[in-house]
């Protein structure tokens, strides 16, 4: 029997983990390894909120392995060098890792494969670990990926999803492989105060509670900002504390329109992953150029600062931006409308917004963040790329009583009902009582005209 190394990346769980299962089936001993990759940090991905959840996930993974007789080995530095060092120390014959889609992940796989081969060690890359279906397993006849969600989803639904695997009972880790100390939250600054606890155990509790309750009303209520009726499982999916394939199985087992609508959102996640897998440059470059000449300069910078701080004077935009800062998470409807506001009404480059989201989002990842930003900016896969969401109309529709705005913009908490969405309409003497709330930084009609001109649609 051989010894294997299982390299964990963003699949930080024991349940439904094909690389770990394969390694345990083939080997007498297994080294569960996580490498804090210097290149990921250098690329600006080491945001405090995600580092906190990463630390939670690693500690939980280690605890779960210890319950099974094993432990987690943690290293930091150059990923390839660290994996090779551990392979040498453990005299391992194989390394198992989950496939991933970003340009960085592709490069990592190539470098790892050649470095390991040079040592006579085999790399096994496992599909459908971080996504429900492997990117590339659902393709149209004429292309390497689907560029439109609806046909993708039709085909996606025809594929069978592999059965989830149970967590292992025992994991034997060989002696003599040292580990660095597990990271913790201590010492991290700039964390969002409302950040949830991460890790597989917490994630599984959230999943069970969601499938028992919330998912039933998901189809009807998922867009209601104040109700907060979505799963909030995105950080767990981002770190792989939950398996997307298991979630699909369990949601389908639950059945009903809520569960179906929820599974559809999980397919959106797969959709963006298959786009990025086929077009890795879409993380930084327009997927479909609209020949934009985005605003720059002092006025644009002032608008961006107001947007980031949640003081644009559009209460629904400000509420969503403040939720992001406070929780490291934002409701999907909020994400859509603040992204449309930045890229279309203010006509600022989507990369500026995407970067800010990645600095704060606990679930921030390249595929979902960059491609949703591109969708909102009309440079991605939206089939109506020039539509502009009016924040006031959106507010009336998705926060009809104004409760979401009052929750996050306390200076407007004294305004009742939907009047909270348009404080500028208040009579002058009443408006002065809400002086802490800024006037709108842009006139919506002017913003719309500017955008239409820029896209040659005036």
Ligand X SMILES: Cc1cc2nc3c(=O)[nH]c(=O)nc-3n(C[C@H](O)[C@H](O)[C@H](O)COP(=O)(O)OP(=O)(O)OC[C@H]3O[C@@H](n4cnc5c(N)ncnc54)[C@H](O)[C@@H]3O)c2cc1C
User: How near is the Cβ of 344 to ligand X at its closest, in Å?
Assistant: 12
> 77 or 164, CB closer to ligand X?
164
In this structure, the strands spanning 73-77 and 94-98 are unpaired
Rounded to the nearest 10 degrees, the angle between the axes of helix 332-340 and helix 315-327 is 120
H helices present in 298-390, as ranges: 298-309, 315-327, 332-340, 350-360, 371-377
Strand partners, 95: 5, 123
Element (H, E) at 50: helix 48-67
C-alpha 305/C-alpha 311 separation (Å) is 9
> 94 or 359, CB closer to ligand X?
359
DSSP class of residue 438? P
User: How near is the Cβ of 340 to ligand X at its closest, in Å?
Assistant: 9
202 binds ligand X (CB under 6 A): no
250 binds ligand X (CB under 6 A): no
Residues within window 81-110 making contact with ligand X, judged by CB under 6 A: none
Strand partners, 98: 126
272 binds ligand X (CB under 6 A): yes
359 binds ligand X (CB under 6 A): no
130 binds ligand X (CB under 6 A): no
User: How near is the Cβ of 225 to ligand X at its closest, in Å?
Assistant: 11
Element (H, E) at 150: helix 149-158
User: How near is the Cβ of 304 to ligand X at its closest, in Å?
Assistant: 15
395 binds ligand X (CB under 6 A): no
Point out which span in 149-157, 175-183, 268-276, 318-326 binds ligand X (CB under 6 A): 268-276
Rounded to the nearest 10 degrees, the angle between the axes of helix 298-309 and helix 350-360 is 30
C-alpha 243/C-alpha 236 separation (Å) is 9
237 binds ligand X (CB under 6 A): yes
234 labelled binding-site residue: yes
Taking CB under 6 A as the criterion, the residue among 131, 368, 379, 390 binding ligand X is 368
Point out which span in 2-10, 287-295, 363-371, 383-391 binds ligand X (CB under 6 A): 363-371
DSSP for 155-180, written as a single string:
HHHHSPPPPPPPPPS--PPPTT---P
Residue appearing with tokens 């006037």: 439
User: How near is the Cβ of 332 to ligand X at its closest, in Å?
Assistant: 3
C-alpha 217/C-alpha 209 separation (Å) is 13
3 binds ligand X (CB under 6 A): no
404 labelled binding-site residue: no
H helices present in 172-256, as ranges: 200-212, 218-221, 234-239, 244-254
Taking CB under 6 A as the criterion, the residue among 101, 266, 324, 412 binding ligand X is 266
Taking CB under 6 A as the criterion, the residue among 38, 59, 232, 355 binding ligand X is 232
Taking CB under 6 A as the criterion, the residue among 82, 230, 343, 345 binding ligand X is 230
C-alpha 413/C-alpha 415 separation (Å) is 5
Taking CB under 6 A as the criterion, the residue among 364, 402, 438, 447 binding ligand X is 364
> 8 or 373, CB closer to ligand X?
373
CA-angle at 345, arms to 340 and 346, nearest 5°:
105
361 binds ligand X (CB under 6 A): yes
Q: How far is CA 299 from CA 240, 332, 452, in A?
A: 41, 28, 19
CA torsion, ordered 54, 60, 64, 67, to nearest 10 deg: 140
> 12 or 233, CB closer to ligand X?
233
Point out which span in 122-130, 278-286, 372-380, 417-425 binds ligand X (CB under 6 A): 372-380
Point out which span in 153-161, 276-284, 291-299, 364-372 binds ligand X (CB under 6 A): 364-372
Taking CB under 6 A as the criterion, the residue among 54, 99, 304, 339 binding ligand X is 339
Interface ranges with ligand X (CB under 6 A): 222, 230-234, 237-238, 262, 265-266, 268-269, 272, 332, 335-336, 339, 357, 361, 363-365, 368-369, 372-373, 376
Annotated binding residues for FAD: 218, 230-234, 262, 363-365
């Amino acid at each position: 029997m051989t010894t294997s190394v299982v390299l964990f990346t963003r699949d930080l769980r024991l349940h439904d983990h094909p690389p770990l299962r394969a390694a345990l089936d083939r080997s007498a001993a297994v080294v569960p390894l996580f490498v804090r990759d210097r290149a990921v940090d250098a690329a600006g991905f080491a945001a405090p909120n995600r580092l906190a959840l990463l630390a939670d996930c690693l500690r939980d993974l280690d605890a779960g392995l210890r319950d099974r007789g094993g432990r987690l080995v943690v290293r930091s530095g150059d990923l390839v060098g660290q994996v090779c060092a551990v392979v040498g120390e453990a005299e391992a014959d194989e390394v198992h890792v989950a496939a991933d889609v970003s340009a960085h992940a592709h490069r990592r796989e190539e470098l790892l494969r050649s470095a390991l081969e040079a040592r006579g060690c085999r790399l096994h890359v496992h599909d459908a670990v971080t996504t429900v279906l492997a990117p590339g397993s659902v393709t149209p006849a004429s292309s390497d990926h689907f560029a439109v969600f609806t046909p993708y989803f039709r085909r996606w639904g025809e594929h069978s999803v592999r059965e989830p695997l149970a967590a292992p009972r025992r994991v034997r880790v060989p002696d003599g492989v040292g580990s660095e100390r597990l990271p913790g939250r201590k010492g991290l600054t700039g964390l969002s105060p409302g950040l949830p606890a991460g890790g597989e155990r917490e994630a599984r509790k959230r999943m069970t509670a969601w499938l028992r309750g919330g998912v039933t009303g998901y189809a009807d209520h998922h867009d209601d900002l104040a109700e907060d009726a979505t799963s909030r499982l995105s950080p767990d999916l981002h770190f792989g504390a939950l398996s997307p394939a298991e979630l699909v199985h369990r949601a389908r087992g639950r059945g009903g329109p809520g569960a179906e609508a929820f599974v559809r959102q999980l397919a959106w996640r797969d959709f963006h992953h298959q786009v990025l897998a086929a077009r890795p440059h879409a993380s930084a470059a327009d997927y479909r150029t609209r020949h934009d000449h985005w605003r720059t300069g002092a006025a644009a910078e002032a608008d961006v600062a107001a947007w980031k701080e949640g003081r644009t004077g559009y209460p629904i935009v400000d509420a969503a931006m403040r939720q992001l800062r406070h929780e490291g998470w934002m409701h999907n409807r909020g994400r859509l409308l603040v992204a449309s506001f930045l890229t279309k009404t203010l006509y600022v480059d989507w990369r500026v917004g995407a970067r800010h989201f990645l600095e704060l989002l606990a679930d921030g990842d390249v595929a979902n963040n960059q491609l949703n930003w591109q969708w909102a900016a009309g440079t991605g896969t939206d089939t109506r790329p020039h539509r502009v969401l009016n924040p006031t109309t959106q507010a009336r529709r998705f926060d009809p009583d104004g409760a979401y705005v009052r929750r996050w913009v306390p200076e407007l908490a004294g305004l009742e009902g939907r009047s909270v969405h348009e404080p500028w309409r208040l009579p002058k003497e009443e408006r002065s009582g809400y002086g802490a709330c800024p006037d709108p930084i842009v006139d919506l009609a002017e913003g719309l005209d500017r955008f239409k001109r820029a896209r040659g649609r005036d």
